[in-house]
A and B are shown apart, each in its own frame.
Chain A
Amino acid sequence: MANKSIKEQVNAVAYKSINVNDTEIFYREAGAKGKPNLLLLHGYPSSSHMFRNVIPMLSEQFHILAPDLPAFGFSAVPDKEEFDYTFENFALIIEGFLEKLKIKKTSFYLFDYGAPILMHVISKNRVEVDMLIFQNGNIYEEGLGQGIRNAMLLFNNENSENRLKLEKLVEFDYIKWEYLTGVSNFSKIAPESYHLDQFLMQRAGLKEIHMAIKKDYANNLAFYKAWQDKLRESQFPTLIVWGENDEVFLKEGAIAIHNELPNSKLIFYPTGHFALEEFGVEIAGAIIDYYNSL
């Protein structure tokens, strides 16, 4: 019965942490080193936990690294006064993470917050891009949902009334909304997804930090043109897998990427923002198939 144990050892997920720029970064690692690297980056309000089901499948093909950003998941929560909670600084953390682990070439999974962060990383040309996977990760104005547009307006005119509205974005009802909106079958969404996020959000100081990150999101828009140029000029092999009912990042954002990259492959799934919760098996399969077709 134990004859498969060697394969399974290789596929086992390890839970580790590493110090990057003075911040303790937690990450999940799976798959043999030496296989092509794939960096999975989570979005708000989640962590590498969002990849828990697909990591074992993807690790058959890839060496997987899935870090948690500072103030997300099980990574450290540096003080707001000591750490710059911006997308540009998150990009520096990811660069430092890859450098420490000596990753010179990798594929990237760009989801939600991970899309702008990784586009910052990719644009610096320090790491060779093997393949890109966009999943509900947006870099086009037409992909921005009404909620993000409203939030940007409210942050621009930040008074106490608007602040109260914005604070809803770090509350449990909103967190749950992100997981459940647009899904085909509610009974397929594991409640530990949003309950774990909520549990971690309740820690002291977390809500203020996440409000600061949300405020910084608008600064990504100034880079959209440069990132779109980068995609067009580089024509990276790109798979776009997108929950088409997502109200955070609209399907128009997926179509825009596909138009920029005519050789890319675009697959819509009848689900919402956290498409992996409902279609993890299908999406992991699509990633492996696409990579093998290159």
Chain B
Amino acid sequence: MKTSYHTRKVNGVEIFYREAGDKQKPTLVLLHGYPTSSHMFRNLINYLADDFHVIAPDYPGYGRSEQPPIKDFDYTFENFSNIVKTLLDELEIKKFSLYLMDYGAPVGFRIASRNPDQIETLIVQNGCAYEEGLETFWDPFRALWKDRNDKEAAATLSTFHAPDGLKWQYTHNVPDTSVVSPDNWEVDLRHLERPENGDIQLALFYDYRTNVPLYPEWQEYFRTYNPEMLIVYGKDDYIFPGVGAEAFKKDVKNLEFHLFPTGHFALESFGDEISELIKDFLIRKTDKK
């Protein structure tokens, strides 16, 4: 098979990543969302492996990466972005495209806005950089951001990575749910049911508040550096609805824009279509090294 599976100690934490393709070809870094892992990219990686060098890390506490105890490690988006950037530096990846989905957006936009010269292209799939993209789903988050000890908000939020909520994330507003593999949530649950993992999820829900004030910085980065961007978005996502995709149009000049009639994990139901768009986009927009 084309994908290989690796681990590497980064800033003291064992980081798991999937890799495929020739390192001489343009690199695409795939950044996964909550509460999954690089497993969400298993089919996309295989599709792109012949033409690109693809890397997909798992964040600490997710997938097959180490889950350091919460007392020893800052589970923050800032820290995740530092770890991902350090991994790329250590692998000597100097230029790359980023695929930003869900949590991958705040991780990846931090990296992109701080290292604009290293960015070849940005591919955004149900990842947010605009406050108007945070609709009703985000009400319990806002309650938690106001009061870290809001038990009711914490209880509501924890249902989204319990078995039923997790399945809902994968299937809500998907036109034909029979195409969504149950492998997704069962593999996620293997990691989510580790001791203390629930507290880690909660820490990141709370830390998400640090992303919102950075949105204007990222928007300024779009205006200043004019990155090439492909948006492939499940427009019926309840978590990051299509309005958040539309918002990019205000600031991104070099934008190719595609909405799909599906939900949050758009790759599960429109994987073939999205993979094909990405391949075509990267062939046109990246340089063969």
**Which A residues lie at the B interface, using CB under 8 A?**
1-2, 4-5, 8, 11-16, 26, 49, 52-53, 74, 185, 187-192, 195-196, 198-200, 277-281
Known: A185-B4, A192-B39, A192-B187. Contact between A12 and B276, CB under 8 A?
no
Whether a CB of chain A sits under 8 angstroms from the CB of B164 is no
Q: Are A5 and B1 in contact (CB under 8 A)?
A: no
Contacts of A187 in B (CB 8 A): 4-6
- Tell me the minimal C-beta distance from A213 to chain B in angstroms: 21
Known: A188-B4, A188-B5, A192-B39. Contact between A4 and B276, CB under 8 A?
yes
| Cross-chain contact of A191 among B5, B46, B178 (Cβ < 8 A) | B5
Contacts of A191 in B (CB 8 A): 5, 16, 64
- Tell me the minimal C-beta distance from B51 to chain A in angstroms: 16
Whether a CB of chain A sits under 8 angstroms from the CB of B72 is no
Whether a CB of chain A sits under 8 angstroms from the CB of B280 is yes
Q: Are B183 and A1 in contact (CB under 8 A)?
A: no
Known A-B contacts: A1-B273, A12-B179, A188-B3. Give 14 more (CB < 8 A).
A4-B272, A15-B182, A53-B46, A190-B5, A191-B5, A191-B16, A191-B64, A195-B190, A196-B183, A196-B186, A199-B186, A199-B187, A200-B186, A279-B1
The distance in angstroms between the C-alpha atoms of A26 and B279, with both chains bound, is 33
Q: Are B182 and A199 in contact (CB under 8 A)?
A: no
Whether a CB of chain A sits under 8 angstroms from the CB of B111 is no
Q: What 0/1 readout, one digit per residue, does chain B (268-282) give for beta carbons within 8 Å of chain A?
A: 000011001100100
- Tell me the minimal C-beta distance from A124 to chain B in angstroms: 31
| B interface: dominant SS | helix
Q: Are B190 and A196 in contact (CB under 8 A)?
A: yes
Q: Are B183 and A49 in contact (CB under 8 A)?
A: yes
Contacts of B6 in A (CB 8 A): 187
The distance in angstroms between the C-alpha atoms of A279 and B2, with both chains bound, is 10
Q: Are A5 and B273 in contact (CB under 8 A)?
A: yes
The distance in angstroms between the C-alpha atoms of A205 and B6, with both chains bound, is 34
Name B1-34 residues within 8 Å CB distance of A: 1-6, 16
- Across the two chains, which residue of chain A brings its CB closest to B189? A199
Whether a CB of chain A sits under 8 angstroms from the CB of B181 is yes
Contacts of A190 in B (CB 8 A): 1, 3, 5, 42
Q: Are B272 and A5 in contact (CB under 8 A)?
A: yes
The distance in angstroms between the C-alpha atoms of A53 and B42, with both chains bound, is 9
Contacts of B64 in A (CB 8 A): 191, 195
Whether a CB of chain A sits under 8 angstroms from the CB of B180 is yes
- Tell me the minimal C-beta distance from B180 to chain A in angstroms: 7
The distance in angstroms between the C-alpha atoms of A200 and B185, with both chains bound, is 12
The distance in angstroms between the C-alpha atoms of A151 and B204, with both chains bound, is 47
The distance in angstroms between the C-alpha atoms of A1 and B42, with both chains bound, is 22
Contacts of A52 in B (CB 8 A): 181, 183
Known: A196-B186, A198-B190, A199-B189. Contact between A280 and B272, CB under 8 A?
no
Known: A8-B273, A12-B272, A192-B39. Contact between A53 and B1, CB under 8 A?
yes
Q: Are A74 and B179 in contact (CB under 8 A)?
A: no
- Tell me the minimal C-beta distance from A287 to chain B in angstroms: 15
Contacts of B186 in A (CB 8 A): 74, 196, 199-200
Contacts of A277 in B (CB 8 A): 1
The distance in angstroms between the C-alpha atoms of A26 and B42, with both chains bound, is 22
- Across the two chains, which residue of chain B brings its CB closest to A200? B186
- Tell me the minimal C-beta distance from B185 to chain A in angstroms: 10
Q: Are A16 and B4 in contact (CB under 8 A)?
A: no
The distance in angstroms between the C-alpha atoms of A2 and B273, with both chains bound, is 7
Q: Are B178 and A15 in contact (CB under 8 A)?
A: yes
Task: List, sorted by A's number, 22 A–B pairs whose CB atoms are closer than 8 Å.
Answer: A5-B273, A12-B179, A13-B179, A14-B178, A15-B182, A16-B178, A26-B182, A74-B182, A74-B186, A187-B5, A188-B5, A189-B5, A190-B1, A191-B5, A192-B39, A192-B183, A192-B187, A195-B64, A195-B187, A196-B183, A199-B189, A277-B1
The distance in angstroms between the C-alpha atoms of A135 and B64, with both chains bound, is 29
- Across the two chains, which residue of chain B brings its CB closest to A48? B183
Contacts of A2 in B (CB 8 A): 273
The distance in angstroms between the C-alpha atoms of A9 and B277, with both chains bound, is 16
Q: What 0/1 readout, one digit per residue, does chain B (168-194) give for beta carbons within 8 Å of chain A?
A: 000000000011111100110110000
The distance in angstroms between the C-alpha atoms of A2 and B261, with both chains bound, is 14
Complex A-B, nearest 10 residue pairs according to Cβ-Cβ distance, in ascending order: A199-B190, A8-B272, A187-B4, A14-B178, A192-B187, A195-B190, A191-B64, A280-B1, A74-B182, A196-B187
- Across the two chains, which residue of chain B brings its CB closest to A8? B272
- Across the two chains, which residue of chain A brings its CB closest to B18? A190
The distance in angstroms between the C-alpha atoms of A281 and B46, with both chains bound, is 11
- Tell me the minimal C-beta distance from A2 to chain B in angstroms: 7
Contacts of B189 in A (CB 8 A): 199
- Across the two chains, which residue of chain B brings its CB closest to A56? B43
- Across the two chains, which residue of chain A brings its CB closest to B176? A14
| Cross-chain contact of B280 among A1, A15, A188, A280 (Cβ < 8 A) | A1
Contacts of B3 in A (CB 8 A): 188, 190
